[in-house]
Amino acid sequence: MAQYDLNLILNPNISAEQVETEKDFIQRAVTNAGGEITNLDELGNRRLAYAINKTREGYYLMYTITMAGNPEKDIASSLRLRDNVYRVLVVKDRPEWKTKKSA
């Protein structure tokens, strides 16, 4: 099973209950695809580099998942159909990115 980073930007104007609803949907989507969430970093509202739907902020969720399949096809495609989801990015975690260069 490979490890992936699943990064989402949500609508910054949604309530706390709607954020919990989105997180529950993401949890179900990952488990239904045969994956497991190992970590969640909830960064909250942050300023975007460029406007999305004329909005300059977004609510950031960064998941670390382990999965043996194609999360782009299995998970990200269904998440993009949600109204409160602005962006979805899935990146395969590579161990060589975590190594430090010798001086």
Q: Domain containing 14 — which CATH number?
A: 3.30.70.60
User: pLDDT at position 25, please?
Assistant: 95
Copy the structure tokens of residue 11: 């609508």
Is residue 91 assigned to a domain?
Answer: no
Is residue 94 assigned to a domain?
Answer: no
Is residue 19 assigned to a domain?
Answer: yes
Q: Tell me the average pLDDT of the chain.
A: 89
Angle at 66 between CA 60 and CA 67, to 5 degrees: 115
- Mean pLDDT of the region 40-58: 93
Domain enclosing residue 6, as ranges: 2-59+67-86
What is the pTM for the complete model shown? Answer: 0.85
Is residue 101 assigned to a domain?
Answer: no
Give the total number of structural domains in the chain. Answer: 1
pLDDT bucket at 70, cuts 50 / 70 / 90: confident
Select from 11, 8, 88, 17 the least CA-distant residue to 56: 11
Is residue 26 assigned to a domain?
Answer: yes
Copy the structure tokens of residue 32: 């239904």
pLDDT bucket at 69, cuts 50 / 70 / 90: confident
* Cα 24 from Cα 54, distance rounded (Å): 27
In terms of residues, how long is the chain?
Answer: 103
